[in-house]
């Protein structure tokens, strides 16, 4: 019989993220056997009963609910994991915190800074463990970038640039809103690519390169009206289809960020590059096991970009997986975050990014939108 402590989890939302998180909890005991906690999939919640039941069976949940309030009220749930669209995050997270549950929430924290602040206040008042799923931090190559930057190898940082490019909304006949298309509806999503995609880029940037001081942004909505799936009416599109901003970081470096859903040919091209006086790093989600590194200290005749295949046991998280040289995937970033959350309970330490830390990303997103709307620089 296992001597592990149980963390009884309730997952709310059975979509894309419901699947990545459920998969993550299911992998923990196999690949992180030394953890003191074991995740127990107590209940999952979807509004549609047959969907909730089927999801529970498929992913190994003991039970299901069709109302998140019932899930939160259950005494056999320790942690609530929110995998629903952005407009639900604040209400669910605040209710869960008030019920004394630990809270894990998908990014962005919420639609607006104001909503996000109420979540931080509630979580800190309740004093419960919390984390926000900015999962890209836990891709081993990205974690290795952090390790290299923190070691000082890059020297003074001059530039940070990131892109997150997609092409799935180019068709002007694509409707907005409703199941599967809530990202197109500003009242549900809060914003377009800024909160959805740039939030990831901003979180990684702050983690790697420190706080952002001020921003200047431009946004565009290429398709101005779309049919709303729920009302059946043609309605104004309120989201930003594309956003470009530049910024100053507190460390004096310059940042350049671009995101769009109109870059034909790109599905999810998240890339970043950081340039220091001595060395540079770059990373590409489409080749996520690799980190590229240029070191000016190398001997001249062999100096050049090296491509590090981040699959060795002494590189972040990789001792948990296969043998050196064998890659892992997107889903592993969620497994790593779930494992880090369980470890944080063992250590009594916070699991980054906490709600408080994720609020910083929210501040930047809000400033980016305000800057674009007012055509002015905005201080963070
Ligand atoms: N970390 C990442 O890389 C990443 C990737 C995708 C999405 N996300 C975030 O995850 C969240 C969910 O996105 P998704 O892609 O999984 O969306 P999705 O549309 O695939 O799934 C959302 C699910 O929530 C359900 N839902 C909506 N309201 C509900 C309610 N009141 N009670 C129960 N279920 C409800 C929907 O029916 C749907 O099944 C969003 O906040 C999004 O920004 C993060």
In angstroms and rounded to an integer, the radius of gyration of the C-alpha atoms of the chain is 21
Region(s) of the chain under CATH 3.40.50.720: 5-136
Q: Is the CB of 47 under 6 A from ligand 1?
A: yes
User: Other CB atoms closer than 10 Å to residue 196's CB: what's the count?
Assistant: 22
| Candidates 3.40.50.720, 3.40.50.300, 3.20.20.70, 1.20.1440.230; CATH matching 5-136 | 3.40.50.720
Mean pLDDT of the region 28-51: 98
pLDDT in tens, 180-229: 999 999 999 999 999 999 999 999 999 999 999 999 999 999 999 999 99
From 17, 137, 190, the mutation candidate for ligand 1 (largest count of ligand atoms within 8 A of CB) is 17
Query: Token pair for residue 182?
Result: 């809530």
Percent of the chain with pLDDT over 90: 99
Name, in order, each residue with C-beta under 8 angstroms of 57's C-beta and a sequence gap of 6 or more: none
**Angle 126-84-24 from CA coordinates, rounded to 5°:** 85
Determine the distance separating the centroid of ligand 1 and the alpha carbon of 245, expressed in angstroms.
26
Instruction: Tell me how far CA of residue 53 lies from CA of 77, 263, 292, 325, in angstroms.
Output: 18, 38, 45, 40
* Residue among 10, 13, 187 to mutate when testing ligand 1 (max atoms within 8 A of CB): 13
Closest CA to 334 of 16, 115, 2: 16
Task: Write out the residue limits of the CATH 3.30.360.10 domain(s) in the chain.
Answer: 139-379
210 Cβ inside 6 Å of ligand 1: no
Say if CB 162 and CB 368 are below 8 A apart: no
DSSP string covering 267-334: SSEEEEEEEESSEEEEEEGGGTTEEEEEETTS-GGG-S-EEEE--STTSTTGGGSSSTT----THHHH
195 C-beta closer than 6 A to ligand 1: no
Q: Which residues contact 303 (CB under 8 A, 6 or more apart)?
A: 294, 295, 296
For residues 249 and 212, is the Cβ–Cβ distance under 8 A? Answer: yes
Residue nearest to ligand 1 atom 19, measured at CA: 180
Residue-wise pLDDT for 318-355, tens only, equals 999 999 999 999 999 999 999 999 999 999 999 999 99
What is the per-residue pLDDT for 337? 98
> Given CA atoms 320, 322, 328, 334 in this order, what sign does their dihedral have?
negative
How sure is the predictor about 1, in pLDDT bands with cuts at 50, 70 and 90?
low
Asked whether 69 lines ligand 1 (CB < 6 A), one says no
* Burial (CB count within 10 angstroms: exposed 0-12, middle 13-18, buried 19+), residue 349: exposed
Query: What pLDDT is attached to residue 340?
Result: 98
Q: What is the pLDDT of residues 92-145, one digit of tens each?
A: 999 999 999 999 999 999 999 999 999 999 999 999 999 999 999 999 999 999
DSSP designation for 155? -
CATH 3.30.360.10 fits 139-379, yes or no: yes
Q: Does the beta carbon of 85 lie inside 6 Å of ligand 1?
A: yes
**Closest ligand 1 atom, CA of 182?**
19
Could you count the other beta carbons within 10 Å of the beta carbon of residue 181?
18
pTM for this model (two decimals): 0.98
Nearest one of 50, 55, 48 to 18, comparing CA atoms: 55
Please identify, by atom number, the ligand 1 atom nearest to the C-alpha of residue 17: 16
pLDDT at residue 2, as a whole number: 78
Distance separating the N- and C-terminal Cα atoms of the chain: 52
- Kindly state the DSSP code that residue 228 receives in the 8-state scheme: B
Report how far apart, in Å, the C-alpha atoms of 163 and of each of 259, 269, 291, 341 are.
6, 7, 16, 28
Q: Whose CA is nearest to atom 6 of ligand 1?
A: 17
Q: Is the CB of 13 under 6 A from ligand 1?
A: yes
| Angle made by CA atoms 206, 211, 212, in degrees to the nearest 5 | 100
CA distance 168 to 188: 19
CA distance 118 to 264: 38
What are the strands of the beta sheet with 5-12, ordered from one edge? 63-65, 37-45, 5-12, 79-82, 102-106, 130-133
- The pLDDT mean for the chain works out to 98
């Amino acid at each position: 019989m296992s001597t592990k402590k149980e963390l009884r989890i309730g997952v709310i939302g059975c979509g894309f993220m419901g699947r990545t998180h459920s998969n993550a909890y299911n992998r923990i005991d196999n690949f992180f056997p030394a953890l003191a906690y074991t995740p127990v999939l107590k209940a999952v919640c979807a509004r549609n009963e047959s969907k909730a039941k089927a999801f529970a069976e498929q992913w190994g949940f003991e039970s299901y609910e069709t109302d998140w309030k019932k899930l939160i009220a259950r005494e056999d749930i320790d942690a609530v994991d929110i995998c629903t669209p952005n407009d639900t995050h604040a209400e669910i997270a605040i209710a869960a915190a008030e019920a004394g549950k630990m809270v894990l929430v998908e990014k962005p924290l919420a639609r607006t800074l104001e909503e996000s602040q109420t979540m931080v206040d509630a979580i800190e008042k309740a004093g419960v463990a919390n984390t926000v799923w900015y999962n890209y931090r836990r891709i081993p190559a990205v974690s290795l970038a952090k390790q290299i930057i923190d070691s000082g190898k890059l020297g003074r940082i001059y530039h940070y640039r990131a892109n997150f490019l997609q092409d799935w909304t180019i068709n002007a006949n694509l409707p907005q809103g409703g199941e599967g298309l809530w990202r197109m509806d500003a009242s549900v999503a809060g914003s377009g690519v800024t909160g959805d995609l740039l939030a990831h880029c901003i979180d990684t940037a702050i983690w790697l390169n420190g706080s952002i001081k001020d921003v200047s942004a431009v946004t565009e909505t290429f398709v101005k009206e779309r049919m709303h799936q729920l009302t059946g009416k043609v309605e104004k599109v309120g989201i930003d289809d594309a956003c470009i901003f530049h910024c100053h970081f507190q460390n004096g470096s310059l940042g350049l960020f671009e995101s769009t859903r109109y870059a034909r040919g790109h599905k999810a091209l998240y890339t970043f590059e950081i340039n220091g006086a001595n060395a540079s790093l770059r990373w590409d989600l489409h080749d996520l096991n690799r980190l590229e590194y240029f070191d000016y200290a190398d001997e001249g005749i062999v100096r050049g970009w090296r491509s590090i295949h981040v699959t060795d046991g002494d590189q972040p998280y990789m001792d948990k997986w296969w043998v050196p040289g064998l890659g892992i995937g997107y889903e592993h970033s969620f497994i790593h975050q779930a494992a880090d959350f369980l470890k944080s309970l063992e250590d009594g330490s916070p699991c980054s990014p906490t709600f408080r830390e994720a609020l910083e990303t929210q501040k930047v997103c809000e400033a980016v939108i305000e800057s674009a709307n007012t055509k002015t620089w905005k201080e963070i």
